[in-house]
Chain A
Amino acid sequence: MPMGKAINAGLRKALADDPKVLLMGEDIGPLGGVFRVTEGLHAEFGGDRVIDSPLAESGIVGTAIGLAMRGYRPVLEIQFDGFVFPAFDQITTQLGRQNLRHDGRMPMPVVIRIPYGGHIGSIEHHQESPEAYFTHTPGIRVVSPSSPHDAYWMIQEAIASNDPVIFFEPKSRYWPKGPVDLDHAGIALHSSRVMRRGTDVTVVGHGAMVATLLQAADIAEQEGRSLEVVDLRSLSPIDYGPLVDSVQRTGRLVVAQEAVGFTSLGSEVAATIAERCFYSLEAPVLRVSSFDTPFPPAALEADYLPSPDRVLEAVDRALAY
């Protein structure tokens, strides 16, 4: 099943299981969303459960806060990564703080789905990776699946959470198929996971970058190098356990991300691993990121986004110490 369909199935299950779950966003109704992730849900659950909103991102998040106060569990869609910023104020100053401001008596079970990242050749504001803005915000949880199986389960777990969850969907992964176990999630929402065992260098990433890291590991294997690949899955909080274990075994870490590198999630991971694994490290923790520029015209995206080769270049540097 492709990830887009897996999220659709997860949303359908959540809507069917709990009458308080509702979806809201731009064009998510009869159209089924621009990526068709909500396809068929409007017909199945009606316009009061799958709501085509006015074209106003702050309004979508702000009214969802009121709906959550009323006992609903809104699942919102922001059409594209670069369009979340009109809602930034409601997310950071309101959504993330309601429970705290109410002394724990106003949980905010709101999920904000954001298709993000590059590799689809789109235009300005349609290929960004803004996750660090949200991981920097206390009160908000942030996750990103890398596989259809995880997407199916993580969307349901995010909806079940009483805390607000930003659910970053790597849009380049909407279409590739993968297995989905409809009976068992495997691991909890805020867990990281070792995707491939290896002994020489640990490489870690999230979302679409996991596919890039797995490709890099394949290539490295042909060159006689063994990479251990870790999928963060949860960006806030971060589950460091498997990563620390891995780095203590390999002694080397490369952190890869599509986002701008400066003050990024990768910076946080690098700093934390440097603190926790100082005596295990054989090399500095290295970061592979996109450049510290706005996302370029799509014709240049292959030069902008971290490729398997750029990951392997960092692996070489790590091994050279």
Chain B
Amino acid sequence: MVQILTPDGVIAPSAEAEPYAELVEGLDDSTLETFYRDMVRSRRLDIMGANLQRQGQLALWVPSHGQEAAQVGSARAARTQDHIFPSYREHVVGMIRGLDPVRIMALLRGATLGGWDPAETGNFHLYTLVLASQTLHATGYAMGLRFDGLVGTGDPETDTAVLVYYGDGSTSQGDASEALVFGSSFQTPQVYFIQNNQWAISVPVQRQSRVPLAQRGPGFGMPGIRIDGNDVLASYAVTRTAMEQARAGEGPSLIEALTYRMGAHTTADDPTKYRPEGELESWIARDPISRYRTWLEGRGASEAFFDQADADADDYAADVRRRTLELQAPSRPAIFEHVYSEPHPLMAQQAEWLERYEAGFEGGAA
């Protein structure tokens, strides 16, 4: 397992981490601070989202508490031109790419089905609620990049890769395996990033796989690398290396980030019913944010920096919360809009019917 930063907050690369240590040493203070600020902001948003759901303002919240390092490190490893296909838990990845989290709130509030355009959100694609479906979309997109000649040109501004996120539960889906078949066969410029957060709702990862999920990579003909997903430095360094290999035309890689979903799967779930006693505590001891903070403190980061990061995260969350509560339901005709991209007689007829039906009530009241 690739681990660079230990749970105690000490840089002590594991044997597997040796090839990546240099990459981490080259990171400047600003980048290192950005990782921290991203993770704190993610956790703050997570708490706010869960509260909003409890207050009846969201239909559902999908927590990412505990997975900040896996998400921030990998997301920060992508270049501007890269495309990212999330599952439905990668809120901070979207934020890093420029997605306004209110769009996520709108989805979880039941006001939209997503609605953002990847071209306007740093090539961050829509959430996909059907497990592993997006692994195939990402693979097809990566095939297209290859057909377009945007791989292996040697120009770092041109070469493009795809990063796709999915979870340990999703690996059991046929689509996840088919994606690896297509990715390997077509040598797509792509990184398959599995966040193994140990639980697929209530079912432990052992029910999904008898072997480490990273071993799926070699089985399909690509490297499979297991990382400490609570180590933001390992997540960054390994993903960055794999993405560079993908852009260079060396084909896809699979990364398994070992992490832990500290909250529920969603707010519809109660983890106290299935988690063994002591498990959560053991993972709290491996918390991605506190270990990173310890290390930054050791490097001389000031108390003021941490205070500022907290204050910024509070402001950010408050702003998102305020704007979430202002979200309006879409107008009624939206039911029929965009089901087809070209005119369709049933949509026209039914939209007209609904308009007349509603107008009938207005007429009766008058």
The residues of A with any CB-CB pair to B shorter than 8 Å are: 22, 48, 53-54, 56, 58-59, 61-72, 86, 89-90, 93-94, 97, 99-108, 138-139, 141, 161-163, 237, 239
Give the interface centre of B118, B141, B341, B346 by most chain A CB atoms within 10 Å.
B341
Taken together as a complex, chains A and B put the C-alpha atoms of A86 and B181 apart, in Å, by 15
Whose C-beta in chain B lies nearest to the C-beta of A93? B130
Whether A54 contacts B185 in the complex (CB less than 8 A), given A66-B138, A89-B133, A94-B137, comes out as yes
- Does the CB pair B178–A69 fall under 8 Å? no
Contacts of B145 in A (CB 8 A): 70
- Least CB distance, A273 to chain B, in whole angstroms: 16
Contact across chains for B340 and A69 when beta carbons are under 8 A apart? no
- Of B117, B128, B147, B182, the residue contacting A105 (CB under 8 A) is B117
B114 contacts which of A89, A102, A139 (Cβ < 8 Å)?
A: A102
In the complex, the answer to whether B114 meets A66 with C-beta atoms within 8 Å is no
Does chain A have a CB within 8 A of B299? no
Proximity bits, B114-125, A CB within 8 Å = 1, else 0: 111111000001
Chain B, residue nearest A70 (CB): B144
Q: How far is the CA of A103 from the CA of B334 in the complex (A)?
A: 9
Tell me the nearest residue of chain B to A104, going by C-beta.
B338
Give the chain B neighbours of A65 by CB distance below 8 A.
136-137, 140
> How many residue pairs, one in A and one in B, have C-beta atoms under 8 Å apart?
129
18 contacts between A and B (CB under 8 A): A53-B182, A54-B178, A54-B182, A59-B182, A62-B135, A62-B175, A66-B138, A66-B140, A71-B144, A72-B144, A90-B136, A94-B130, A101-B113, A102-B338, A103-B116, A106-B117, A139-B339, A162-B341
Bound-complex Cα distance A133 to B71 (A): 38
Known contacts A58-B136, A58-B174, A90-B175; can you find 13 more A-B pairs with CB under 8 A? A54-B185, A56-B178, A59-B179, A62-B139, A63-B179, A70-B140, A94-B128, A99-B338, A99-B339, A104-B338, A104-B341, A105-B119, A139-B340
A63, B136: Cβ atoms under 8 Å? yes
- Are A101 and B344 interface neighbours, CB within 8 A? no
B255 at the interface (CB under 8 A from A): no
Q: Give the CA-CA distance A54 to B178 in the complex, in Å.
A: 9
Report the bound CA distance from A161 to B143 in whole Å: 22
Cβ–Cβ contact B144 & A67, under 8 A: yes
CB-CB under 8 A from B140, the residues of chain A are 62-70
Q: Does B342 contact A (CB under 8 A)?
A: yes
Chain A residues near B126 (CB-CB < 8 A): 101-102
- Docked-complex contact B181 and A103, CB < 8 angstroms: no
What is the distance, in angstroms, from A151's C-beta to the closest C-beta of chain B? 21
Q: Contact at A237–B344, with CB atoms within 8 Å? A: yes
For B25, what are the chain A residues with a Cβ–Cβ distance below 8 Å? none
Task: For the complex formed, measure the closest distance between the CB of A38 and the CB atoms of chain B, giving whole angstroms.
Answer: 18
- In the complex, which residues of chain A have a beta carbon less than 8 angstroms from the beta carbon of B307? none
Once the chains bind, are A66 and B143 in contact (CB under 8 Å)? yes
Alpha-carbon gap, A121 to B128, bound state (A): 41
Q: Which of B22-56 contact A (CB under 8 A)?
A: none
> Which of B142, B174, B185 is within 8 Å of A66, CB to CB?
B142
A48's nearest neighbour on chain B, judged by CB, is B147
Given the interface pairs A56-B182, A59-B181, A94-B130, the reply to whether A67 lies near B141 with Cβ below 8 Å is: yes
Contact of A72 among B118, B139, B147 (CB under 8 A): B147
* Nearest B residue (CB) for A162: B341
Contacts of B340 in A (CB 8 A): 99, 139, 141, 163
| B345 at interface by CB-CB < 8 Å | yes
Instruction: Answer yes or no: B279 CB below 8 A from chain A CBs.
Output: no
| Contact status A66-B136, CB under 8 Å | yes
A141 vs B144: C-alpha distance when bound (angstroms): 24
> CB of B18 within 8 A of chain A?
no
B337 at the interface (CB under 8 A from A): yes
**B358 at the A interface (CB under 8 A):** no
Of all chain B residues, the one with the shortest Cβ separation from A107 is B341
Q: Which residues does chain B contribute within 8 Å of A53, judged by CB atoms?
A: 182
A68 vs B144: C-alpha distance when bound (angstroms): 9
Taking CB atoms, residues of chain B closer than 8 Å to A141 are: 340
Does B148 touch A at the CB level, under 8 Å?
yes
B143 touches A163 (CB 8 A): no
B119 surroundings in chain A (CB, below 8 A): 105
List chain A residues, Cβ under 8 A from B185.
54
What's the Cα separation between A58 and B176 when bound, in Å?
A: 10
Cβ-defined contact, A69 with B137, below 8 A = yes
Cα(A72)–Cα(B174), bound, Å? 25
The docked-state distance in angstroms from the alpha carbon of A77 to that of B174 is: 20
Instruction: Write the nearest CB–CB distance from B190 to chain A, whole angstroms.
Output: 10
Q: Which residues of A contact B142 (CB under 8 A)?
A: 66
Which of A65, A71, A141 has its CB near the most chain B CB atoms (within 10 A)? A65
The distance in angstroms between the C-alpha atoms of A237 and B130, with both chains bound, is 27
Q: Say which residue of B117, B136, B337, B341 sits within 8 Å of A163 (CB atoms).
A: B341
What separation, in Å, do the CA atoms of A48 and B338 have in the docked complex?
A: 31
Chain B CB count within 10 A is highest, among A63, A67, A93, A104, for: A63
| Top 9 A-B pairs, shortest CB-CB distance | A66-B140, A62-B136, A70-B144, A63-B140, A59-B178, A66-B141, A104-B338, A107-B341, A66-B137
Which residues of chain B come closer than 8 Å to A68, judged between CB atoms?
140
Residues of B within 8 A of A108 (CB): 341
- Distance A224 CA – B317 CA, assembled complex (angstroms): 80
Q: What is the bound-complex CA distance between A97 and B342, given in angstroms? A: 14
Q: Which residue of A lies closest to B150 (CB)?
A: A70
Q: Is the CB of A102 within 8 A of B115?
A: yes
Note all chain B residues with C-beta closer than 8 A to A139. Answer: 339-340
Q: Which of B137, B148, B337 contacts A62 (CB 8 A)?
A: B137
On chain B, the residues within 8 Å of A63 by CB distance are 136-137, 139-140, 143, 179, 182
Distance in angstroms from B221 CB to nearest chain A CB is 12
**In the assembly, what is the distance between CA of A90 and CA of B138, in Å?**
13
Q: How far is the CA of A26 from the CA of B114 in the complex (A)?
A: 33
Q: Which of B136-167 contact A (CB under 8 A)?
A: 136-145, 147-148
Residue-wise interface mask of B (165-198) relative to A, using a CB-CB cutoff of 8 A (1 in contact, 0 not):
0000000001100110110010000000000000
Which residue on A lies nearest to B128, using beta carbons?
A94
- Are B339 and A138 in contact, with the CB atoms below 8 A? yes
Residues of A within 8 A of B179 (CB): 59, 62-63
Which residues of B lie under 8 Å from residue A61 when comparing CB positions? 136
CA distance A96 to B191 in the complex (A): 26
